[in-house]
Amino acid sequence: MLNWDDPFSAPIAGTAEAKKQSEEKAAAQPAAPAANDLSEAPASAEIKKMPLMNAKPVNADDKRVINGEADINQLAPFKYPWAWNYFLNANKNHWTPLDINMAQDVHDYRHKLTLEERHVYENVLSYLTTSDILAMRNIGLAVMEKMTAPELQIYQARQVYEEALHTWTYQHCIETIGLDQSEIYNRYRVVPEIYQKIKLANDRLNTVMRSDIDLHDRDELENFVMSYAFFAGIFEGSWFYNGFSPIFALQRRGLMKGTAEQLQYIMRDEVMHASFGIRVCKQIMKEENVTLDPKKVQQMFEEADAAEETYAGYILRDPILGYSKEVHHGQFRYTANRRAKQLGFEEPFPGAEATLPWLDEQANMRKEKNFFETKVTEYQTGGGLKWD
């Protein structure tokens, strides 16, 4: 039997030790009456009637993304069946970092990567380790509690788990390669070019992760939508989408294939996260009649762009074969334009063109082997996801 105080101490079921413990426990305790034996019920016992609630059945039309008054504990009938479908599809993407062989990466890092390539690899991981924790805190602590339709919360609960899984993945890569964990994890705190991106996200998160926030207040509501749009459209939809590409560039040359495959799994999750967040933002704006200030939206994208350009200049201060800071920054602007349009905003960087035409293919592979055939992966949803 499971020991609640120490679950790892219980003997294995079916063994002699387990049988002996069961017999000793039975001998030490008096026989209990059968569960359906009412003959010994205390005379004073009274069955109390539950008070009538006079509650009306839940009508799906009464549900709202936020500020709703329908029963948050009742899943169906659905008002947002698409949210439930996100949850079902996300569960088809289940994986763990232990599924992927990292042995070749250890050899590549020690014997094949140049100093410049090691610099890129280490700093991408240093940024990502903190970023996914921020994404987890945003959804788990600032967003979920404000949702008033359970089908939305259920997918977001899965999203919280996935962000934790991504954090485990980066830790697994760092540990497997043999990097100095303390140095890598603290790098974002001492490297201004990495810290700038983290600070932008953290500042945005702190404006909505407050116990006294009131989404009936128009200013608070607009700020919440701006924050959600930032995390969905920029943080996950652009920074993350663009952020894995330096490692993918190594993978395309046959280097660090295990790490890149880990990031391909993560990228499928992040595509779903961003798509879901964008859809929720648009739904809130429709239901609550919210129109965001175009100047504030443009400023939000420009701040993110400046931070990304600075970051690219640091991790790619010396270009690596087939990849440069100009390529990285250009792809960010192109991706940011796509996310802005999906949110219903004007393009913040008119005329920006794709500088990594292979990146979408990298994100959308389905039922195929990854580059260099490291592992057969089958993604049920990432490849078929339509952003528009």
Distance CA 110, CA 253 (A): 16
Distance CA 65, CA 288 (A): 9
Distance CA 102, CA 110 (A): 13
Distance CA 352, CA 334 (A): 5
172 assigned to a ligand binding site: no
Please report where in the chains the tokens 């970092």 appear, as a residue: 97
368 assigned to a ligand binding site: no
163 assigned to a ligand binding site: yes
Distance CA 66, CA 336 (A): 26
At 103, list the tokens.
């042995």
At 181, list the tokens.
């964990």
236 assigned to a ligand binding site: yes
Q: What is the CA radius of gyration of the chain?
A: 26
Instruction: Sort strands 368-369 and 376-377 into parallel, antiparallel or unpaired.
Output: antiparallel
99 assigned to a ligand binding site: no
Q: Is 127 a catalytic residue?
A: no
For residue 101, CA distances in Å to 97, 163, 245 come to 9, 21, 20
Active site residue: 109, 121, 170, 334, which one? 170
- How would you label 146-183 residue by residue, b for 16+ Cβ within 10 Å and e otherwise? bbbbbbbbbbbebbbebbebbbebbbbbbebbebeeee
Contact 151, 75 (CB under 8 A): yes
First to last CA, the chain: 52
Q: What's the one-letter identity of residue 330?
A: G
Contact 79, 149 (CB under 8 A): yes
270 assigned to a ligand binding site: yes
By residue count, the chain amounts to: 388
3 state SS for 145-194 = HHCCCHHHHHHHHHHHHHHHHHHHHHHHHHHHHCCCHHHHHHHHHHCHHH
Distance CA 249, CA 260 (A): 9
Which segments are annotated as binding site?
132, 163, 166, 236, 270, 273
Known catalytic residues are 170
Which segments are annotated as binding site for Fe cation?
132, 163, 166, 236, 270, 273
